[in-house]
Structures are given as C-alpha cells and as structure tokens.
Structure 1
Amino acid sequence: MRWSAGAVARMLGVSPVTLRTWDRRYGLGPSTREQGRHRRYSEDDVHRLRRMLELTGQGVAPASAAAVALGDPPPSRARSGGGPHALAVESEEARGFARAAARLDLPLMSTLAATLIARDGVVRAWQDVLMPFLIALGERVSAQGNGVEVEHLATAAISGALRSEAARFPVPVAGRLPVLSACAPEEQHSLPLDVLGAALAERECASRNLGARVPAAALLDAVSLLSPGVVVLWAHVADYALSAPVASLLERGQVVLLGGPGWEPVPAGARWVASLPEAVDTCLS
C-alpha cells in the first residue's frame, strides 16, 4: 500500500500542515514516488510517523522524537508473528474484507470485522486493517467517482461490529459518566467515535456516543444531564469545528478532548489528541 499525504493525515488524525512540517524539519516524509504522481507514504513511513506521535504524546521534544523514530528499524513482516504490525493491510484478513466489500456482502463483512476485533483488540484491528482499508477505499471512490455504495456498506459493517464489541463490556455508570463523545454540528463522520467507545469498553470504561451532527444546544443539554468527566468532540473539517461549543464547555469547567484534523488552531484550554491510543489513554487518566 502507498498513501497520499492527505490519506496519512486522516489515518493518523493530524493536519497535513503538520506532516509537511515534519518532512521539512526532520525528514519524516514520504520515501516513494509512483510514476507520474506525487510522492507517496509507504507502510514503513507511516510506522515512523506513528512512533513520532507516540513519543511526542509522552512529552518527548519533537526533534528528539524524530531522531528516535528515524532510528527505529521498521517492523519485520516476516518475523512479526502476533506483534502489533502483523495485521498489515496486505494481510489475508484485509484482502478477505476487501473481497466481501466488493460483493456488498454485509453479513460476511460484519463477521470478519467482529472476528478481527475480538481476536486482536479494537485499537490494533482499527489501526492495522480497518482504517487503512477505509482510507484506501475512500481514495479510490474519490478518484474513480464510483463505489460509494461499497464505502457506505463497509462503514456500516465496521460500525456495527464496534458497537457489538462495546456491548460485550457493559459497565454500570455510578454517578458521573466517565466519557461523553459527539461529532461537531454538521459533522457526519461518527465512525471514529464508535472506535473510541469500543476501545474504552475493552478497558472497562463507560462512555456514551451522541453520534453525528450534534447541535451545540443538544450537546450542552447532555453534558448537564450526564456530568461527564471528559467530553470528546470530533471534527474532520475546520468549518464544522468552529460551530462546536468548545468555549461553553470550558466555561463550565469541562475537560474537553478534540479529535480529527479540523481543529487548527486548537482552542485554548482544550486538548487535541493525535491518535486513538492517545485518546484512550487520556480518557482513562
């Protein structure tokens, strides 16, 4: 697999501007070029960027984090076994899911996604197989102008599997709800919040996801009712992020986490999380 800068930005939840800065300053850029096309990120390039995000999320200075990321050897596919990179997009699981998606076989996609999540956990299944598959599919739909039905049905299958996984870990909420998540007004892509909810459930952390296109007033009403410890807001587009009631939440003393590439600049007082593992760890801290 080879990814464009925009696809990698969406995959990692960072701004394309951040990727360009890291490329220019630290050499963490795409290493391959396809004939007649722009430079593309390889799987090893994405591995280094994930390492960069992991280290900076731990407080390591960017220059030092980049040096470590560049010095780390890429994961060995031949020897990875059950390690975190065993399920690369070239895996049989990914190929099987792609074949089922091409046939619009919703039951099989649902079964494959559920099996993968149950076997390898939400974070690993999402980052190594499901998210790269959806991004590659989205790029093909955009380039060819067809296949939207495949994209929609695949998303539905993955979302259903994630919600079922979350339901396997019913955690009673005593008093304050730990995490409340919602999309910014007009933001329709709620799948990342389904992923977060399932990942939190695996860690026995209760959460509620209000879903897509949540009006500001509705979100504030839900916060008043549930008194969450953390509010997570997702926005893929800056225009949608601007209409989210971040300032009102902060005025109430609410802890606000922001996900997605739409938050630039990040509102003062809120925290932007760059990856799913960081979001999970922050919600649990």
Structure 2
Amino acid sequence: MTYTPRAVAGMLGIAPTTLRTWDQRYGLGPSVRTDGGHRRYEDADIEVLRRMVGLTAQGVAASAAAVLARKQPVAPPDGERTPIGSAAALMAQQSFLGAAKRLDEPTMADLAAKLLAAHGVVAAWDAVFVPALVELGELVAASGQGVETEHLASGSILHALRGIPRTSGPGPLSVLMSCAPDEQHWLPLEALGAALSEQDRRWGNLGARVPAEALRDAVARLCPQVVLVWAHRQDLALRVPLEELGTRSGAVIAVAGSGWDGVALPSFVRRPKSLTEAIGLVLDLVR
C-alpha cells in the first residue's frame, strides 16, 4: 500500500508542512510518485519517519535525527557475543567520549549500536557506557558546564538500547520497572530491559518520576512477576511504598540504585547490586 502525505502526517501526528520540510531538507521523502507527480509513501518510508518523530521528540536536532532515522534498528546477532577486553573497552570509551565532547550524536549512536551487536548489553554497559557516563558526569560536576554533552551521550545510548527488538509474544510481564517518585535517572532500567529482550523476556518500564499511586495502579493492572524500583538518592527511595507493594501485588519486589544504601528494607525485598545480578534475579524467578 501507499499513502498520501496528508494521511502520513495524520498517522504521525505532525503537520503536512513538517513532512514537506523533512523531504526537502533531509531527503526523508516518499519512495513513490504517481504518473501525475503526486507523492506517495510506502510502509518503509513511514517507519523511517516514525523514528524521526521519536528522535526529535527526545530533543535530537533534526539534521542528526535524519541521519539516525535512516539506520535500521540494530538487532543483536544470533549466538554468543565476543568478550570485550580491557584494552578494547578503554579504546571504545575514548572513542565514545571524544564523540560526546564534539556533540557528535550520530557517531555516538553508531558506536553504541556496534558495541551492543558485538558484545551484548551487559558487556557494553559495564565496560563502556557506565565508565563513559561517569566520566562525563564528573566533568560536569567539576566545571559546572557540559550538561548538554552528558544528555546527548545518554540519548545516544538510549537510542541504541531501543534498537534491540522486544519480545511481543503473549504472557505476563517478567518484570515491571519504575523509577521512584521524582527520580529522573532511568537509563539503567532501559539497559536492564534491553538485556532481558536478549533473553526473550517480556518487560515494561514506567520511566522517570512515577508517583507512588501510579506505580500501585500499574502493578495491579499488569500483574508482573517482578517489580523493580530504581532510585539514586535516599530521599527518593524512602517515598516508594514497598510494604504496600509487597502485601498487595503478589509480585516479587526488588530495588536497585545507590539511593537504597542505608535504607532498612523489608525482609521480602530483593536488592541486586549490578545489571548482571538483576538479570539473574528476574530469570531465576521467572523460571
């Protein structure tokens, strides 16, 4: 099937003029033109435009988003991933940090996607992404500048993680993930989700700043096997209704992040200390 520009604009929730601009400036146009010269979009064209809409909604500059949108989502190859040695990890970190400091988002996204495809989520996250993000965060803290660099780096990693296909088959959620109320750091949850996708497990992520009531409602409606809540500050962790979740949901309750350091947890709450431990926890409980 083919679609008119007006129909495509309606599907994507954008103005027809935006569609025309993207065609003229970035070449994100239709593959088909009628004998009369009218533009017609195919399904593949629309998928590229969907990625463009998603990227620009995240704040990616339109020119960079157009480059990224043309790239197919990266699926991890079948079989075992190759391990990443310390020298290779350091080289990858430096390449990623160099691109970050240049605000070169397409290069960061490409590097991140290649690392995930070659080594898998856990290795790429532990050996490259986390050290690079920590270094960028320390630079921001020391100088008071460079927040835009940190944000673009996080966005590039997020884009690559979301390129790993999610399981769409029937069945309950293996895990429902959520940030604590007013917690805004949710990239680690996306890493866990992508790693579980590699294991063919279904998961959900409520994202950042989830009120306690919203978390309770989502757990009641989705009935996940595991509920995992992330917090990087103790004052945010203390606002999570762990007791209520444990007594009412029937799910296994787990928490993660440095915000839980020093918090007295109920005996039924699990606390994985790393991405590998969190994956193991979910897989063991689901089995």
Give TM-score, length-normalised by structure 2.
0.67
The answer for the alignment partner of 1:125 in structure 2 is 124
1:266–1:272 Cα contact (<8 Å) kept: no
Moved more, 247-256 or 237-246: 247-256
Distance 1:261 1:194, change over 3 A: same
Quote the Cα distance in structure 1 between the aligned partners of 2:209 and 2:87.
Answer: 33
Alignment-derived partner of residue 275 in structure 2: 276
May I ask how many residue pairs the two structures share in their alignment?
200
Aligned to 1:254: 251
Q: What is the rounded CA distance, in whole Å, between the counterparts of 2:103 and 2:216 in structure 1? A: 39
1:171 and 1:205 in contact (8 A); partners too: no
Look up the match of 2:143: 144
Match in the other structure for 1:47: none
C-alpha distance in 1 between matches for 2:90 and 2:206: 34
Q: CA deviation at 1:102?
A: 1.0
Question: What are the superposed Cα offsets for residues 40-60 of structure 1, whole Å, 9 maximum, x if unpaired?
Answer: xxxxxxxxxxxxxxxxxxxxx
Contact 1:87 1:125 in 2 (8 A): no
- Paired residues for 1:35-114 under 5 Å: 83-86=83-86, 89-91=89-91, 93-114=92-113
Q: Indicate how the Cα distance of structure 1 residues 279 and 145 shifts in structure 2: closer, same or farther if over 3 A, else same.
A: same
Shift of 1:96: 1.6
Kindly indicate whether the alpha-carbon contact (under 8 Å) linking 2:180 and 2:209 is maintained by their aligned counterparts in 1.
yes
Contact 1:231 1:255 (8 Å CA) reproduced = yes
CA distance in 2 between partners of 1:88 and 1:245 (Å): 43
Deviation at 1:94, TM superposition (A): 1.8
Secondary structure of the residue aligned to 2:163 is helix
Name the residue aligned to 2:167.
170
Q: Distance in 1 between matches of 2:278 and 2:87?
A: 22
Identity %: 47
Separation (CA, whole Å) in 2 of partners of 1:160 and 1:188: 17
Match of 2:234 among 219, 233, 238: 238
Q: Please state how far the C-alpha of 1:89 moved relative to its aligned partner.
A: 4.7
Contact 2:84 2:119 in 1 (8 A): no
1:164 Cα deviation from its structure 2 partner? 1.6
| 5+ residue gaps, structure 1 | 1-81
Distance in 1, Cα, partners of 2:220 & 2:149 = 39
The question of whether the paired residues in 2 share the 8 Å contact of 1:88 and 1:128 is answered with no
264-273 vs 229-238, which moves further: 264-273
- Residue in 1 aligned with 2:16? none
Partner of 1:187: 183
Give me the whole-angstrom Cα distance separating, in 2, the residues matched to 1:133 and 1:162.
16
AA aligned to 1:184 is A
Q: Which residue number corresponds to residue 263 of structure 2?
A: 265
Higher relative contact order (CA 8 A, sep 6+): 1
- The answer to whether 1:229 aligns with 2:225 is yes
The runs of 4+ residues in structure 1 deviating greater than 6 Å are: none
Deviations along 1:18-67, one digit per CA (max 9) or x if unpaired, are xxxxxxxxxxxxxxxxxxxxxxxxxxxxxxxxxxxxxxxxxxxxxxxxxx
Contact between 1:231 and 1:257, CA under 8 Å: does it hold in 2? yes
- Cα shift at 1:254: 2.4
Bigger radius of gyration: 2
Note if contact 1:177-1:227 (Cα within 8 Å) is conserved in structure 2.
yes
Q: How many Å separate the matches in 2 of 1:261 and 1:219?
A: 20
Does the CA-based 8 Å contact 1:180-1:209 persist in structure 2? yes
Distance 1:188 1:132, change over 3 A: same
Aligned equivalents of 1:173, 1:150: Cα separation in 2: 39
In structure 2, the gaps of 5 or more residues are 1-81
Question: 2-side partners of 1:217 and 1:108: how far apart?
Answer: 40
Measure how far apart 1:100 and its partner are. Answer: 1.1
- Partner residue, 1:216: 212
Matched residue type, 2:235: D
Rounded to whole Å, the distance in 2 between the matches of 1:101 and 1:111 is: 12
